[in-house]
Chain A
Amino acid sequence: MLTDTHTGLDFPQGTWWKPAHKSEKVWVAIAFVWCMVLFAMMPLWHWKGGQNPSGIRRTTTPADFMARVTEFTNQYKVGEDRGLPIVAPPPGADVYLVAYSFQWSPILKLQKNVEYTLHLSSLDVNHGFSLYPINVNFQVVPGYDYGLRVTPNAAGDFRIICNEFCGIGHHIMVGRVMVDDAPSVASLGGVR
């Protein structure tokens, strides 16, 4: 004996395609509207907001990318720390940062409120770019050059933590980014 009301274990008989109660329709409508709000926020932020992971995307090879990193490093090198070059590119420059197990190179010296195009790629496996302490995260994939337009909004001494497992030394893979208030030496020198 099956009544009009039945559980999810029963076999519905006859036509079960019946109109829903108003309360159920209202919830479906509200849920739908909310999903549209969720949807609208993504294009809206591209238009009105300032944080979008779009960037310039190209394929590359580890050798080509490393050549660009070396060229960039030699051009704007201003010092060294722990064997890694410190590089101070001029405002608006294309900035190259390479990841490989288990290091980020070079150390970057940037200026506050200046836009740079930060190119990220890997020489070996996947790595994760995580800027500490402001918590900005990007995937670094070998064979791909990810060119992000970044504008630091605060001065400070930042770290880049690798947050994609890349092998046994994953947890010591830390890089460094310095952001200065004052214009850096290289830009005053007017290289480029």
Chain B
Amino acid sequence: MSAATAPLAPIETAVFRTCPATGRRIDLSAERLVKVHAVSSVVSLLVGAVAAVLLVLTRWQAVHLLPAEWFYRILGVHGMSMLIFFIIFFEMAVLIFASTALLNARQVATKTAWAAFALMLAGALVVEWMMWSGNADVLFTSYVPLRADPKFYLGVILFAVGALVTVGLFFANLVYAKREQRYQGSLPLVVYGAVTAAIIAVITLVHGAAIYIPTYLWSLGLMEVDPQIYRLIWWGLGHSSQQINVAAMVAIWYMLGALTVGSVVLNEKISRSAFVLYVLFISMASAHHLLVDPGMGPAWKIVNTSYFMYMAVLASMIHGFTVPAGMELGMRLRGFTQGMFDWLRRAPWGDPGFSALIFSVVVFGFVGGITGVTIGTEQINIIVHNTLRVPGHFHATVVSGTAMAFMGATYYLIPLIFRKKVAFWPLAKIQPYLFAGGMLIFTLSMTFAGSFGVPRRHWDISFSGAPFDVQFNPIVDVVLAVVALGGLLAATGAFAFIAIAVASVFFGEPLGTIPKGVVVAGIPQGLTQPPVHAADVDTRSRALHDASRGLMGPTPGTIALVFVFLAAFVLYFFVNWKVLSFLWRIG
């Protein structure tokens, strides 16, 4: 990692401190902003995780904890707290961190930044108040014309405006960093990924404004909103916001890879082009939520979900190669050169930053990616729409992928930004295993239950009180119990994370310096023993890239792994077509 370009001028010491671990300049006001956003994020995670436990215990038919009204209410709380508040607060922290600490630059317009944070916080509190008080039982998607209290929509708007201002300040930070010559050369890939996330955030938040402002007026009785148009524009917000997550997550993958194993960037051109593909194509892909809707024709559905979506899929498949390949090459350049997988075996599995990274990549790619692309196919969507396969998919992407990456990043942010040791270190080392293991069970069994037609967002699949009986295959009861057990295991992992984060930040042991070369409990290995490439790194890299190594090139292990991935993808995709072809003829 490169150190700051020049020593601090005396006048700058009031603004910056120098990070003892990395030699970077850290703007003290940006640091405070990162802290409040990160803390708000973790508090939202706590609310969402408590809700998650109540939900899985209700869908576990043998326990069936909550009454119907509270099940739907808590489901709304879970969705908003997790997908919006937890994730977006954290993303704002990432944007501030990337545009200041990673560029040795300062935060501009700090007062505006605080005002934006206040707006976000106020919006989040209003939304939570409306949901808990039973004035917004409309669930996460809040489809018109199901009506919530106007204050609910207003809260969402306040939150979005605050986030939009923070994203604007991120761009301003970049401009000032360049103008004040805080760095030489181009933006690092990690920051470039954050820029991608920020651009998508703007697109998303504009969609949010375009739909929530009319919806707010509608809730006040001042105008009409067409339900199909609502669904169209709402998903421009609802799905694109998941694309902010993907871009932010991939940026964090590159960051954690660099910090934990000294990942190198194989080729800047390819990795950056893949980020550009996200920006260009991903927002249209929101169309895949409307594949079995009456409002749009097949041509519209095919164009938006094929060319446009698949170019974004291509981007993910590229990152899915370059991220592990960068890790493999980084390890090889440090001397772990034996065989195909020695680099993986010798990786720092006890470093929660590393294990979180690996699980994030694997579960996001194998479960989230493959299921997502498959259910985003116009016809296959017929057997998926609104079944448990949908939450099965997005818990693999957003929760196992994005949230896991955020957790891994937090283990590094605690010593770097909060200057504390990570509390409960032995627990921290196993936390990613708990969380990812639980999530893997949860998402796979949910996907399986959905294949039987079990609906999502449904309180009682025994259908007591319904005019006609519905007898699900008895295996469904077992599968839903497994869903609950996986969910409880994952929630345990989430609570462990929250306990670690809160204890570290508020009661943790302050960190003067980060000692190099020794193992210290409470400091991730990537900081105390930073990955160092061999002195003749360029010579070794050239040798690994030599044409004589054939198509497997410098990263044979990753090549083998991505072909396993491709085989799984092809198999799952075509099995779904096979299942589809057994249905009634529909046209």
Which residues of A are in contact with B by a Cβ distance under 8 Å? 2-14, 16-18, 20-24, 26-28, 30-32, 34-36, 38-39, 41-43, 45-46, 49-55, 57, 82, 84, 103, 115, 120-121, 124-126, 128, 130-146, 148-153, 159, 161-168, 170-176
Q: Which residues on B sit within 8 Å (CB–CB) of A17?
A: 268-269
Nearest CB of A to B569, in Å: 7
Residue of B nearest to A103 (CB): B467
Q: Does B441 contact A (CB under 8 A)?
A: no
A39 and B207 CA atoms in complex are apart in Å by: 26
A151 and B587 CA atoms in complex are apart in Å by: 9
Q: Does B335 contact A (CB under 8 A)?
A: no
Q: Does B452 contact A (CB under 8 A)?
A: yes
Q: Which residues on B sit within 8 Å (CB–CB) of A164?
A: 143, 386, 457
A135 and B382 CA atoms in complex are apart in Å by: 8
**Contact assessment for B257 and A7 in the assembled complex, using a CB-CB cutoff below 8 Å:** yes
Nearest CB of B to A57, in Å: 5
A149 and B31 CA atoms in complex are apart in Å by: 60
Residue of B nearest to A138 (CB): B292
Give the 7 A-B CB pairs with smallest separation, nearest first.
A23-B553, A8-B254, A146-B294, A7-B258, A11-B185, A163-B455, A8-B189
Residue of B nearest to A161 (CB): B455
- Of A41, A126, A140, which is within 8 A of B146 by CB? A126
Given contacts A35-B314, A130-B455, contact A20 B385 (CB under 8 A): no
**Contact assessment for A141 and B458 in the assembled complex, using a CB-CB cutoff below 8 Å:** no
Quick one: CB contact mask for B251-291 with A, threshold 8 Å, 1 for yes?
Answer: 10011011100111111111100000000000000000011
Q: Which residues on B sit within 8 Å (CB–CB) of A141?
A: 227-228, 231, 293-295
Q: Does B581 contact A (CB under 8 A)?
A: yes
Nearest CB of A to B583, in Å: 5
Residue of B nearest to A149 (CB): B587
Nearest CB of A to B34, in Å: 17
A28 and B319 CA atoms in complex are apart in Å by: 10
Given contacts A18-B267, A150-B584, contact A135 B254 (CB under 8 A): no
**Contact assessment for B385 and A137 in the assembled complex, using a CB-CB cutoff below 8 Å:** yes
A133 and B452 CA atoms in complex are apart in Å by: 8
Q: Does B183 contact A (CB under 8 A)?
A: yes
Q: Which residues on B sit within 8 Å (CB–CB) of A32?
A: 314
A135 and B576 CA atoms in complex are apart in Å by: 13
**Contact assessment for A7 and B294 in the assembled complex, using a CB-CB cutoff below 8 Å:** no
**Contact assessment for A53 and B379 in the assembled complex, using a CB-CB cutoff below 8 Å:** yes
**What would be 18 A-B contacts, judged by CB atoms less than 8 Å apart?**
A8-B189, A8-B258, A9-B102, A11-B188, A28-B318, A35-B317, A43-B302, A51-B580, A124-B145, A136-B382, A138-B385, A144-B293, A149-B586, A159-B468, A161-B453, A165-B457, A167-B137, A174-B467
**Contact assessment for B541 and A135 in the assembled complex, using a CB-CB cutoff below 8 Å:** no
Q: In residues 478-518 of chain B, which contact A (Cβ within 8 Å)?
A: none
Nearest CB of A to B391, in Å: 12
Size class of the contact patch on chain B = 35 or more
Nearest CB of A to B299, in Å: 9
Binds A, one of B107-115, B238-246, B303-311: B303-311
Q: In residues 527-560 of chain B, which contact A (Cβ within 8 Å)?
A: 533, 537-538, 541, 545, 547, 551-555, 559
- Of B264, B271, B306, which is within 8 A of A42 by CB? B306
Q: Does B184 contact A (CB under 8 A)?
A: yes
Which residues of B are in contact with A by a Cβ distance under 8 Å? 1-2, 68-69, 72, 102, 137, 139, 143, 145-146, 183-190, 193, 226-228, 231, 251, 254-255, 257-259, 262-271, 290-298, 301-302, 305-307, 310-311, 313-314, 317-318, 321-322, 325-326, 329-330, 333, 373, 377-379, 381-387, 451-453, 455-461, 463-468, 470, 472-473, 533, 537-538, 541, 545, 547, 551-555, 559, 562, 566, 569-570, 573, 577, 580-581, 583-587
A183 and B45 CA atoms in complex are apart in Å by: 57
Given contacts A11-B183, A23-B552, contact A35 B266 (CB under 8 A): no
- Of B68, B301, B310, B457, which is within 8 A of A168 by CB? B68
**Contact assessment for B228 and A143 in the assembled complex, using a CB-CB cutoff below 8 Å:** yes
- Of A4, A22, A140, which is within 8 A of B538 by CB? A4
A143 and B224 CA atoms in complex are apart in Å by: 12
Residue of B nearest to A160 (CB): B468
- Of A27, A39, A54, which is within 8 A of B321 by CB? A27
Q: Which residues on B sit within 8 Å (CB–CB) of A128?
A: 385-386, 455
Given contacts A13-B184, A13-B186, A39-B310, 5 further A-B contacts (CB under 8 A): A21-B266, A31-B318, A46-B298, A52-B379, A165-B139
Residue of A nearest to B383 (CB): A135
A128 and B382 CA atoms in complex are apart in Å by: 12
Q: Which residues on A sit within 8 Å (CB–CB) of B460?
A: 171
Q: Which residues on A sit within 8 Å (CB–CB) of B585?
A: 50-51, 115, 149-151, 153
Nearest CB of A to B185, in Å: 4
Given contacts A159-B470, A174-B468, contact A12 B1 (CB under 8 A): no
**Contact assessment for A38 and B313 in the assembled complex, using a CB-CB cutoff below 8 Å:** yes
A135 and B292 CA atoms in complex are apart in Å by: 13
Nearest CB of A to B464, in Å: 8
A18 and B102 CA atoms in complex are apart in Å by: 24
**Contact assessment for A23 and B306 in the assembled complex, using a CB-CB cutoff below 8 Å:** no
